[in-house]
Amino acid sequence: MPNQYRFIVLCVLSALSINAFSGESDEIRSTLSDQQSVAVTIYNNNLALVKDQRKVKLNSGLNNLALRDVSAQIRPETALLRSLSNAGSFSTLEQNFDFDLLTPQKLLEKYVGKKVNIVKTNPTTGIETSEQATVLSANNGVVLKIGNRIETGLPGRIVYDDVPANLRDRPTLVTHLDNKIATEQTVELSYLTGGLGWKADYVAELSPKEDSVDLSGWVTLTNTSGTSYNNAKLQLVAGDVNRVQDISLLAKVGRKEFKPIADANKPMAEESLLEYHLYSLDHPTTIAENQTKQVALLSATGVPARKELVLRGADYYYQASYGDLGSKMKVGVFVEFDNKEAAKLGMPLPKGVMRVYKKDRQGNAQFVGEDNIDHTPRNEVVRLKLGESFDVTADKKQTDFKVLPRPAKGNSMFESAYEIVLKNAKKEPVTVTVQEPIPSDWKIMKESHHSQKATSNTALWKVEIPAEGKTTLTYRVQVKY
């Protein structure tokens, strides 16, 4: 046979082989019933790593393996399939992610230009009649050609001959494999996906004396990835992992109503991972599709805490005359504690919302405020702003202001005096921290209470106020610009 004819025959045979190979009827389908185990590692920024192990029986030679029930938000370019039981037994030639899921509308769209049967029922006799139609359009409705007429809308039931091969009822990753041994194998599919996220939530209860807190932490998981992860080994990574953003790779999945599930688990084990922290659940858990789930993160009792009342000023009134600066000014309420083993804690805390409660005289826990915390390593301080004090207020005014002669060309000097009247309506004394951000080069000329230079631009006073009384803080400051 001449070489040119041999080449044509080989091309035809190759094409026939590919066509037969790509047919859905030749698929080896793998579902969640084949799953041996699944591990899910979830990151903070809507990213998860899934490792899905399944038992599949592959034929020798070319195989078309359809892995059903993968995440609908899989990043296909990150998918990696390998054999765990027979390492190197197959090579992946091609893979396709079929995310066009079967719905009545999608099925209609796939039949544009094709023939369907329209079945009508006579409302009087109940007799059904059928006639063939061609689907001309399925955009914002349906346009049909029935015989020599064009009809819009659905005059009856549409009956289709078959479901197109590229339309699936579940998200499916189809891999084309060249396999060496015809045997049952354990394979692992690993991939990155969106649609899985987690956040930390904390509950802190203040002691009656407000000098300690009982702390519990929960991890809230959300799964909108389009599939379930049954009896998964769950790990969470806390930290800011850098990612190359490409919005087109992350498919958007409609959100449905979630069902909260409280899972009373033991605290999670923690370890370092590069510059991040990894938290591992000590037992398998199921993360169902379209579900919110909570698992325990940590628990600590009697953590020493400190409450602080803070009045913070501003830097704008140190270079001009303003007079009254405010009356009944709010005093902020803060609670802080040390994240140390000596303080009965000492675990890296993922960022999240910390809600604080305190029991009333009847023993009922009442909500007293919440604040966000950032990722907090060991031996750092957790500081929460709970709100503004009701009973502790302040009146502030500028009592003097003058422009001083310029000490040098280009410089300006000002001297101003202030009076802050701190009032306490409580039946017990309190201490208020007064923080004044003073700009540029400054020095306190005179003051009624001793101050500290907390930072280069902050003066700080600790002022005690008697029960149901008031205390007046006065100071004079010189500022050079």
- Work out the average pLDDT over 458-467: 97
CATH of the domain at 427: 2.60.40
Torsion of CA 243, 246, 248, 251, to 10 degrees: 10
Q: How many residues are given for the chain?
A: 481
**Residue range 225-236, pLDDT digits in tens:** 989 999 999 999
**Residue range 61-77, pLDDT digits in tens:** 999 999 999 999 999 89
The pLDDT of residue 12 is above 50: no
Instruction: Return the SS3 of 78.
Output: helix
Whether the pTM exceeds 0.75: the reply is no
Which residues have C-beta within 8 Å of that of residue 55, sequence separation ≥ 6? Answer: 34, 36, 184, 185, 186, 187
In a domain? residue 177: no
Helices (H) and strands (E) in the chain, counts: 2, 31
- H helices of 100-251, in order, are 104-110
In a domain? residue 430: yes
The pLDDT of residue 8 is above 70: no
Q: Which residue has the tokens 């070489």?
A: 3
In a domain? residue 428: yes
- What's residue 240's pLDDT? 64
In a domain? residue 188: no
Instruction: Report the C-alpha gap between 11 and 5 in whole angstroms.
Output: 10
In a domain? residue 146: yes
Instruction: Report the C-alpha gap between 157 and 311 in whole angstroms.
Output: 72
- Work out the average pLDDT over 436-459: 95
Total domains in the chain come to 2
In a domain? residue 319: yes
User: What's the Cα-to-Cα distance from 322 to each of 299, 326, 396, 414, rounded to whole Å?
Assistant: 50, 10, 11, 13
**Residue range 183-199, pLDDT digits in tens:** 999 999 999 999 999 99
In a domain? residue 352: no
DSSP 8-state symbol, 178? E
Final residue of a structural domain among 138, 159, 180: 159
In a domain? residue 364: no
Residues linked to residue 218 through DSSP beta bridges, in sequence order: 201, 296
- What's residue 96's pLDDT? 87
- H/E segment holding residue 473: strand 469-480
Instruction: Report the C-alpha gap between 336 and 357 in whole angstroms.
Output: 14
Which domain covers residue 414, as residue numbers?
Answer: 306-336+385-480
- Asked if 468 and 391 touch (Cβ cutoff 8 Å), the reply is no
Final residue of a structural domain among 144, 159, 174: 159
Final residue of a structural domain among 159, 192, 223: 159
Which residues have C-beta within 8 Å of that of residue 248, sequence separation ≥ 6? Answer: none
- Work out the average pLDDT over 82-101: 86
